[in-house]
């Protein structure tokens, strides 16, 4: 069921591909050029007004689904809410982080064993190339316990506690990066949009996820300098005018996922697409709907360089 403007329910006829959106009980004015909401291929979708939290679009918004690497939004959210956080604190990369991504066949920032990187750099490494090695490093650093296993489990508990605090009643984490261990790493489009809205209030997070690329320098174990170049897996950046984030995610149970955000004319919207093979064009269509524009049909998708991580 998709909910239509002003809360009017629209049932799908056999020949109609789902149309509909809702505007928080009709409290907002529909975009000027958007008489009809677009249809999207996503199994679940949701879009909200970042300033007010009001709903702009909803498709199976409360159905639980796996979320792949969009999980890392919560990993970052937990880190950034740590009391007395020092973003310039340095962390030494362990071989265990590299072993983990090899064992999982996971996306990686290719962090080198022995390198000393800052928390800020680990956030870049996790959120741009979707490095699961960086996610593990953060979980290991900010969890509690005497072993890496204990600390990462502790960190996942913090993720679930934060979900409770944020009122994400249909969300649960069993991993720090979206590589589910028990098939209990799930969320809903509505919850994930609420999480993204919360994370985007942190200037550090918002500043990172809008970057198409970053170059970072780390100290090696021998005292030298290593250059890391990371490209953002979110191809909406640099493709859709006004796009400012947020995070991709793809794995076998989840399908292609995208949390996206854009600002035009001082209006910011945040959206979620879960299991959508056309996630970028669908995101552009939803953004056009929100802004009353028509740029999706001519959007040229930014290509990633050869060798860059895909997610």
Active-site annotation, residues: 69, 72, 130
Task: Compute CA distances 160 → 50, 233, 237, 280, whole Å.
Answer: 23, 26, 29, 29
The candidate with the shortest Cα–Cα distance to 73, out of 142, 135, 155, 164, is: 135
* Separation CA 197–CA 200 (nearest Å): 5
DSSP state of 43: S
- Token look-up 């750099």 returns 121
Largest CA distance in the chain: 66
Q: Are 3 and 9 in contact (CB under 8 A)?
A: yes
Give the position of tokens 């170049």. Answer: 229
* Cβ-based burial of 164 (10 A; exposed 0-12, middle 13-18, buried ≥19): exposed
Q: DSSP character for 291?
A: H
Q: In sequence order, what are the residues at sequence separation of 6 or more whose Cβ sits closer than 8 angstroms to the Cβ of residue 229?
A: 213, 214, 215, 216
In the chain, at which residue ranges do the beta strands (DSSP E only) sit?
A: 2-3, 9-10, 44-49, 55-59, 65-66, 90-92, 116-118, 186-187, 213-219, 225-231, 243-251, 255-264, 267-274
d(CA 291, CA 296): 11
């Amino acid at each position: 069921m998709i909910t239509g403007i002003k809360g009017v329910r629209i049932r799908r006829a056999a020949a109609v591909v789902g149309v509909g959106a809702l505007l928080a009980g009709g409290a907002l004015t529909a975009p000027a050029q958007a008489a009809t909401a677009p249809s999207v291929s996503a199994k679940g979708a949701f879009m909200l007004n970042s300033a007010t939290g009001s709903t702009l679009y909803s498709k199976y918004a409360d159905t639980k689904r796996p979320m792949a690497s969009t999980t890392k939004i919560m990993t970052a959210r937990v880190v950034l809410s740590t009391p007395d956080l020092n973003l310039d604190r340095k962390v030494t990369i362990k071989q265990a982080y590299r072993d983990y991504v090899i064992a999982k066949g996971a996306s990686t920032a290719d962090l080198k064993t022995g390198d000393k990187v800052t928390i800020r750099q680990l956030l870049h490494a996790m959120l741009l190339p979707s490095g699961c090695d960086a996610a593990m490093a953060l979980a290991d650093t900010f969890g509690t316990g005497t072993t890496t296993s204990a600390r990462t489990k502790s960190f996942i508990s913090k993720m679930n506690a934060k979900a409770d605090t944020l009122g994400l009643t249909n969300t649960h984490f069993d991993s720090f990066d979206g590589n589910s261990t028990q098939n209990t790493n799930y969320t809903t489009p509505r919850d994930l949009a609420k999480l993204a809205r919360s994370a985007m209030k942190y200037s550090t997070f918002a500043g990172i996820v809008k970057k198409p690329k970053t170059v970072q320098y780390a100290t090696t174990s021998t005292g030298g300098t290593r250059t890391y170049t990371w490209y953002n897996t979110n191809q909406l950046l640099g493709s859709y005018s006004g796009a400012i984030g947020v995070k991709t995610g793809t794995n076998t149970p989840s399908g292609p996922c995208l949390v996206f955000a854009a600002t035009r004319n001082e209006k910011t919207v945040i959206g979620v697409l879960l299991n959508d093979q056309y996630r970028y064009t669908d995101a552009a269509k939803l953004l056009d709907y929100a802004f009353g524009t028509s740029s999706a049909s001519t959007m040229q998708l930014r290509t990633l360089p050869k060798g860059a991580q895909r997610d």
